[in-house]
Every structure is written in structure tokens, then in C-alpha cells.
Structure 1
Amino acid sequence: MRPYRGVPAEQRRAGRRAALLAAGLDLLGTQGWAAATVRGVSARAGLNDRYFYESFADLDALLLAVVDDQAAQATDMIQAVADGAPRRLRARTTAVVTAIVDFLAADPRRARILAYEFPASPLLQQRRRRITGVLAGIFTAQVHELLDEVPLSETDLAMTALTIVSGLWELLSAWFRGEVDTDRDHLVDYVVALLLTTTDLAPALDHRLR
């Protein structure tokens, strides 16, 4: 296809897809996905609804794309913060936990999606399992990087990672719903302390912290 007003067709399609993603995030993070329609999302994006199907097969495909985009931003942020933090367990743990809480709190739409939309959607519950697996993988990789000797088998470490990630997901969801009566600083301190004293990792953590 020829460029329109100097803009190549592929670039225009990418722009329309980005607008739909932004509209999907706004709708999901404010009114909730139950209120979504193809026409409503398209109108919010400033597009004719015929352009919706240029990028997405249906509303479920857009919903997953919105969540995947936010999850990718979060995992990229976590990895970048970890890479930039000192190779010391407490310092890196504090940096990463603080960054996660602040990432979610910085945009109320993200907090609402975590706290309300994931629990309400079977489709997002399925996607949560994939995201949890990615985050557990990051946790496992950080343990291997920071500890000279990991006092757990790979199976036990994988179970520990899954338990921690799943538990923190629930804790942060409850906190954003107002069900946990504590402030942001105490929440961060609690999570850091929990991570530093988790089950059989404690002896190695004590050695590292000396």
C-alpha cells in the first residue's frame, strides 16, 4: 500500500494498534472489562470500529494483549532494576520490591487491574499462571546470581519461587483493594524481610548479610 500523507501503511497500522492498546488499558483500568465493546474501545481510540479487526481477532485478544504489554513492562523494569542494583542481597531485594510496588502504584489503572480485573476474569486467571511462571523464573535466576551456594534443590527452589510470587501477588492485590491496613513503606519493609528469611534460604541469607 502507498504511504498516506507520507506515513507508510505499516506505520499507520502500528499506530492504530497502539491506540487500541491504550484504549483497552484505559477501559480495563477504569470501568472494567465487563463494560467493553468493540465499538466502545474503537471510539475511545479515535478509530472507526472496522479498524479493530485489523489488529485483534476479538475483545479477548485485545484484553490479553493489554495485560501482556503491562506484564512485559513490569518484567523489563524488574530485570533492569535488578541489573542496576548492587550484588548484595538486601540492597537488591529492597530495590526490586520498591520498584514493583511503585510501578503498580504509579498508574491507578494497573493497580485496579491487579486487584479487581484478574480475580474477576477466568481468561486473566489463565494468563496469571504464565506471568507467575515468568516472575518465578526471575526470582530463581536472582537467587543463583546472589548466592554462592543455593541450599535448596532445583525442585525446592522452583517451589519456593512459585510460593513467593503467588503469595506476593495476593498480598499486593489485597493491599490495593484496601484490605491490608499498612502504608507503602511498611509494606515494602515487610516484603523485603519476608524474602530475606524465607524457609531454607535463611542460612545462606545470614551468611550473605554479614
Structure 2
Amino acid sequence: MVLLRDDFGGPLVAGYFTRPYRGLSAEQWRSKRRQRFLEVGLEAMASSGGRATVASITATAGCSARYFYQCFEGVESFLVEIFDWIVEECSKAAVVAIEISSGEPYSHVKAIVIGVVDALTVDPCKARFLLDPAIGGSRLASLRGQLTGDVAFMLRQILEENTSHHDTRLLAVQAEGLVAGVTGLIRVWLDGQLSLTREELAQQCGRYIDEAL
């Protein structure tokens, strides 16, 4: 049987595609398309402020809408997967930062901040997607709030260990302020209002947190 192909190189007749095609299994082709959709969707959503459509994303990806809905339940789940993908990349950067930093807890925190900011800004689309409240509506707003809360909680624990007073309310406010400060710096940098290189931005964010702790 002759298989027609989509623009991404995979076979169009997915139902009949059970044997390896061009060295890839059906599942590998689906995984490849899914990753392509995530990459295209990230750039499209970040550059459009969340207004990109499925039609424009599938056209850029070179795959039909049918393949999009084979990979994702809908637009909301698609955006959540992009969000989770970015967070996963940042988590990996944090792990690497811990491994190469010294054993001191504060050294770890500074290294994590630098590593995560670097991972976010190596492709500015990732930082825009993660931080732009216009992208994703209430679902991503909830995830952003949860992520911010988790980071603030971690910083609050460190502050509690490094202070003589234990007013949890004030420490919580301080921790939230530190998170807001870093995200604010990144957003201002994305808007071109800070004349810093990406590396300088990461170092400045790390220094800001380190000095506050």
C-alpha cells in the first residue's frame, strides 16, 4: 500500500500505520508530531499574546488538525502541556545547578535562581509564555499561582532558618515579594527596558535573592 505523507514526513493513513515507517514506529511518529506542536505552539502563543489559533499552529507545524486532536484533548490541555514542558525544563536546570554548586544551602538557592532564569530566557518565548497573564486564561492563571506559591514557600522556609524572628505573615510577604521581584525583572527585560545580556540578567536575579536571604 502506498502511504500519503503529511508535511511533517509522517504517514497520513494513521489507522493503517502499524509497521515502522522511515525507521520510526507509529508511537514515535505521534511523539514527534506532539513535540513539534509544542514547539510551534510555544512560539505562536508567546508572540501573539495567546491569540494564536489551532489552524495557524497546525499550518506552521505542517500537520492537519486531526493530528493535533490526536495529541491533545483540546486547546486548554495543549496550553497546559506547554506550561508543564517549560516547568520541567526549569526543574532540570535547577537540578543541574544544585549538582555544580557548593554544598551550602544559600549557594544552592542562588545557583538554582541563575539556572532557572537562564533556562527561561535562552528562548524568550518560554519566559513570555510562563509569565504573560494574557496567555491561557483562568486555567494557566491557576497554574501560575500554584507555581509562584511553591517557589515562595521554598524561600520562606529558608528565611525562617535565617532570621531571629518568626512572624510567619511577614516572612510570607517577604518571600512573595522576592518571587515578584525576579519575575518583574524578567518581564521588564523581555520588554527591552533593561540593557542587560541574558547572562547578566540571570546573575542579577541570583544576586537579588542571595542578598535577601
Name the TM-score, length of structure 1 as normaliser: 0.72
- Distance change >3 Å, CA 9–CA 188, structure 1 → 2: closer
Amino acid at match of 1:170: G
> Any unmatched runs of 5+ in structure 1?
202-210
1:195 matches 2:212: no
> Any unmatched runs of 5+ in structure 2?
1-14
1:113 matches 2:129: yes
User: Hey, what's the Cα distance between the residues in 1 that align with 2:142 and 2:195?
Assistant: 29
User: Hey, what's the Cα distance between the residues in 1 that align with 2:81 and 2:118?
Assistant: 22
Of 188, 191, 209, 1:174 maps to 188
Amino acid at match of 1:14: S
Share of identical aligned residues, percent? 28
Of 26, 33, 41, 1:9 maps to 26
- Distance change >3 Å, CA 137–CA 84, structure 1 → 2: farther
Which SS does the other structure have where 1:164 is aligned?
helix
**For residues 25-51 of structure 1, what are the alpha-carbon distances to aligned partners after superposition, in whole Å with 9 as ceiling and x for unaligned?**
1212334421x2222211222212111
Query: How much does 1:86 deviate?
Result: 0.3
Please identify runs of 4+ aligned residues in structure 1 that moved more than 6 A: none
Please tell me whether the aligned partners of residues 30 and 109 of structure 1 are also in contact (alpha carbons under 8 angstroms).
yes
Please tell me whether the aligned partners of residues 114 and 173 of structure 1 are also in contact (alpha carbons under 8 angstroms).
no
Amino acid at match of 1:108: P
1:24 matches 2:41: yes
User: Hey, what's the Cα distance between the residues in 2 that align with 1:186 and 1:11?
Assistant: 39
Amino acid at match of 2:36: A
User: Hey, what's the Cα distance between the residues in 1 that align with 2:59 and 2:197?
Assistant: 38
Of 102, 106, 112, 2:118 maps to 102
Please tell me whether the aligned partners of residues 75 and 135 of structure 1 are also in contact (alpha carbons under 8 angstroms).
no
CA RMSD of aligned residues (A): 3.2
User: Hey, what's the Cα distance between the residues in 1 that align with 2:58 and 2:77?
Assistant: 14
User: Hey, what's the Cα distance between the residues in 1 that align with 2:73 and 2:199?
Assistant: 43
Amino acid at match of 1:20: F
**For residues 48-89 of structure 1, what are the alpha-carbon distances to aligned partners after superposition, in whole Å with 9 as ceiling and x for unaligned?**
211111121222221221122111111221232123310235
Amino acid at match of 1:8: S
Which SS does the other structure have where 1:120 is aligned?
coil
- Distance change >3 Å, CA 106–CA 82, structure 1 → 2: same
User: Hey, what's the Cα distance between the residues in 2 that align with 1:175 and 1:119?
Assistant: 16
In proportion to residue count, which structure has more helix?
1
User: Hey, what's the Cα distance between the residues in 2 that align with 1:189 and 1:13?
Assistant: 39
**For residues 140-164 of structure 1, what are the alpha-carbon distances to aligned partners after superposition, in whole Å with 9 as ceiling and x for unaligned?**
57x39xx9x5436594555543332
User: Hey, what's the Cα distance between the residues in 1 that align with 2:20 and 2:199?
Assistant: 51
Match of 1:205 in 2: none
